[in-house]
Structure 1
Amino acid sequence: MRLINSNKDGQNHASKHTGMNRMKWVWSGFLIVSLILLTACGQSTSNNAKIVEDKVNVVTTFYPVYAFTAAIGGEDANVINLLPTGVEPHEWTPKSQDIVNTSKAQLFLYNGAGLEGWVPNFLKSLNSDTQVKSVAVSEGVTLLTAEGDDGHGHGAEHDEEHADEHADEHTDEHSDEETATEEVADHHVDPHTWVSPKSAMIMAENIKNSLVEADPSHQAGYEERYEELHAKLVALDQRFTEQLSQVPNKEIVVSHQAFGYLARDYGLTQHAIMGLSPDAEPTGQDIVNLAKLVKDEGIKYIFFEELVSDKLAKTLASEADVETMVLNPVEGLTKEQVDNGDDYFTLMEKNLQNLLIALK
C-alpha cells in the first residue's frame, strides 16, 4: 500500500511539476509576445527606442516635432520621441534614459518658445562628451504673447532663463539663443506654434535644415521628403484659409489657450477658459464672464481637448446652455488615435470640420 501510495504521490508530483512547467512556458510566451507588442506600439517613445549606430539619431520632445522629423527623416534617420503616447506635454519631465539617449544622439529637436521649460537643465545633464546639437524648431515663427500667468512659468521667464543658461553651455549653437532673448516680453510667450499650418511650415523647414546639416550624405532624401511634407502643409493651409474665410462667426471658446496661432492666421478670435497651461485654474468669475460672452455672441459650442479633463468646458457649456465639441491642439496622440492611424493631418482636418460646424 505504501508503495502504491508512494507511486501515486510521485505521479501526482510529476503531474503537478509538468503542469507548472507548462504554465511557466505559457507565461514566458505571453510575456515575450507582450514585450514584442509593446515595443512595436511604442517605437516613438523613449521607453523602448534605442540609439542606432549607422544612422543619424534624432531625439524629439513631443508629437508634432516627432511627426515632422519622422516624415522628413524617413529611412535615413532614427527618430526617438521623448513624450509617451497619451501624455500631455505641459507637465511632463524627462527620465534618466532620456538623458542617456540624447547624450548619444546627433540632434535634439524641441519646440522652444517656452513650451519645454525643462530643456536648460536637461541639456546641462547630458554627458560631458556629447556631440548632440540642440535646435528650437519654432525659430523664425512670429511669436504671440498672452496675458496672465500660465500656472507653470512657461513663456517669457523660461525663455530668459534659457537664453542665459543655454548660451553659456552652447555658444557655438545657431541662433536659438538669440530667438529666446527676442521672445522675452512683459507677457508670457504662447508656445503652441504648430497648431497653425503656417507656423508648421516654418518648423518643418527648420527640421529639414537640421537633418541636412547633421547628415549631409542623405541630403537628397531629406529634401525630397521635406517637399512632400511641405506640399501637404500648403494644401492644409489653403483649406483652412478658404473655408474659414467663409464662416459668418469668428469667435471660439476653448478649454486652454492653445489656438492663438490658428486664430491669428485664419481670422478667428480665441477665448480660453484656462491659460497657456491646461492646468491653469480659472476663477468662478472667469466662468461667469465667459458664460455671458457665449450668450452675448451667440456662440454655440465650447471646445475641449482629449488629453486634458473636459470638466471645466462642460461646466461652462452647462452654464451657457450650449454644446461641447473637440478642438485638438495636437500636442500628442491618444492610444485610440494611434490605433486608428490618426496623425497631424487627420487631426487638423477634424479640427477644420468642427470649426466649420461651430462657426456656421
Structure 2
Amino acid sequence: MKKVNTVKLLVSLFGSTALLVACGTESSQSGSTSEVESSESNNEKLQIVTTFYPMYDFTKNVVQDTADVSLLIPAGTEPHDFEPSAKMVADIENADVFIYNSDDMETWVPSVLENIKDSETVIVNASEGIDFIHNEELEEHDHEEDHEEYHVHAIDPHVWLDPVLAQTEVLTIQAGLIEADPDNVDLYEANAEVYIQKLDNLNQEFEKAFEGAENRTFVTQHAAFAYLAQQYDLTQIAISGLSPELEPSPAKLAELSVFAKENNVNHIYFEDNASSKIAETLATEVGVELAVLSPIEGITQEDQDLGIDYIQLMKNNLESLKKSIN
C-alpha cells in the first residue's frame, strides 16, 4: 500500500455527534455486516499497527478483512509501563497507519514519533478532541523517619471504557483510515456505521440497567472507570488511583473500610490484569465479596478465539456492576 504524508487527525466532538445521530437512525439494530466491497484497485492490504486491545478491536471493526491489523502490546502486559523494542519501532515506522489511544496512556509514543518523524506513516491519536478527566492522586514517600504525602494531578486516559466516547474514538480511527486509503472510503464509513450502532446499543444497555438505581457508588482497586461513571451518573471510589499497583496507606485503607461499612458496599472490584492483593485486603477487612471489573487493556488469544471482544467484555463489566449499582 502506497503511504501518504503523516497527519494528525482531529474529529470535532460536534462533527462526531452529528454523525452518531445519523448512525443511530440509519443503522440496522441488528448490526449486520456491511456488504460494501473493498476497492479492486488496491493490490496490497493496508498495514496497520495498533497499540493495545481496544485500539485493535475498534480498528478491526472498521477495516474488517481489507487491511492487516497488528496488536503491539501482548495480553498480560501493562500498557502504562510498556516500552517497545527496536523491532516494534521499526514496525510502526514501516506501517501505513499507526493507531494509539493517547500520549497519557501510551506514554512512550511521543518519543517514538519523534524518532520516526520523517516516516510517511499516518498517525492516529484516537482520543484527539476528547476532554480528559484530571484525576488527583495521593502519592506517598518514605524518607528515613519522615513520611511525606503529596498530590499529583494526572490525566485519566481510560476513555474507551465509556461506550459513548468509544464511538468518538471509532470515528477518529475511521478518519485516519480514509486519509491513508481514500479508495476505500465507502467501506470504512459503512463498517464504522455498523459498529457505532453496536456501541450505541451497548450504551443503551448501560443506561437501562442503571435507570432509577438508588445505590450508585462502587469501590474499585484501579481508578480506570471515571469516564464510565461520569457517563451514567455513578460514583467511583478508587483504592489505588490511576496506577493499579499504587499502594494505599494504612490510613487510606482504614478510611475506605469505614466508608464501605457505612454505605453498605457489598463488593470490592479488582481488575483481571493485575494483582488483586490490595482489593483482597480491603474486602477481608470489610467482610464483602470480590468481583472483576476489567479495564479491557488486553485480551488473551484464547478469549479472542472464543469470540470475546470489547463489547462482550463491557457487557461482563455491566453484569458485574449490577452487583453494586441497584
Quickly name the TM-score band, shorter chain normalised.
0.7 to 0.9
Query: Is residue 267–residue 323 contact of structure 2 (8 Å, CA) maintained in 1?
Result: no
Moved >4 Å (runs of 4+) = none
Q: How does 1:172-183 map to 2 (within 5 A)?
A: none
Q: How does 1:1-360 map to 2 (within 5 A)?
A: 54-112=44-102, 114-126=104-116, 129-148=118-137, 187-360=153-326
Q: Displacement, 1:129?
A: 4.5
Instruction: Give 1 or 2: higher helix fraction.
Output: 1
Query: Is residue 86–residue 335 contact of structure 1 (8 Å, CA) maintained in 2?
Result: no
TM-score by length of 1: 0.73
Q: Which one has the largest radius of gyration? A: 1
Choose between structure 1 and 2 for higher RCO, CA contacts under 8 A separated by at least 6 residues: 2
Classify the secondary structure of the residue corresponding to 1:330: coil
| Cα deviation digits, residues 110-139 of structure 1 (max 9, x gap) | 11151111111111233x652112221111
**What CA RMSD, in Å, does the superposition of the two structures yield over aligned residues?**
1.8
Q: Displacement, 1:202?
A: 0.4
TM-score by length of 2: 0.80
Unaligned 5+ runs, structure 1: 1-51, 152-185
Instruction: Give 1 or 2: higher strand fraction.
Output: 2
Rounded to whole Å, the distance in 2 between the matches of 1:221 and 1:215 is 10
| Cα deviation digits, residues 263-313 of structure 1 (max 9, x gap) | 000010001111111122211111111111101111100001110011111
Q: Which amino acid aligns with 2:75?
A: T
Q: How many aligned residue pairs are there?
A: 274
Q: Displacement, 1:187?
A: 2.3
Q: Which amino acid aligns with 2:121?
A: V
| Cα deviation digits, residues 217-255 of structure 1 (max 9, x gap) | 011111111011100000000111121123221111011
| Cα deviation digits, residues 50-102 of structure 1 (max 9, x gap) | xx981221111110011000110112222111111222211211111111111
307 and 76 in structure 1: CA distance in 2 versus 1, 3 angstrom threshold = same
Identity of aligned residues (%): 38
Query: Is residue 113–residue 189 contact of structure 1 (8 Å, CA) maintained in 2?
Result: no
Rounded to whole Å, the distance in 1 between the matches of 2:67 and 2:139 is 35
Query: Is residue 195–residue 259 contact of structure 1 (8 Å, CA) maintained in 2?
Result: yes
Rounded to whole Å, the distance in 2 between the matches of 1:349 and 1:121 is 35
Rounded to whole Å, the distance in 2 between the matches of 1:204 and 1:150 is 34
Classify the secondary structure of the residue corresponding to 1:114: coil
Q: Which amino acid aligns with 1:220?
A: D
Unaligned 5+ runs, structure 2: 1-41, 141-151
Query: Is residue 113–residue 138 contact of structure 1 (8 Å, CA) maintained in 2?
Result: no
Which residue in the other structure is 2:11 paired with?
none
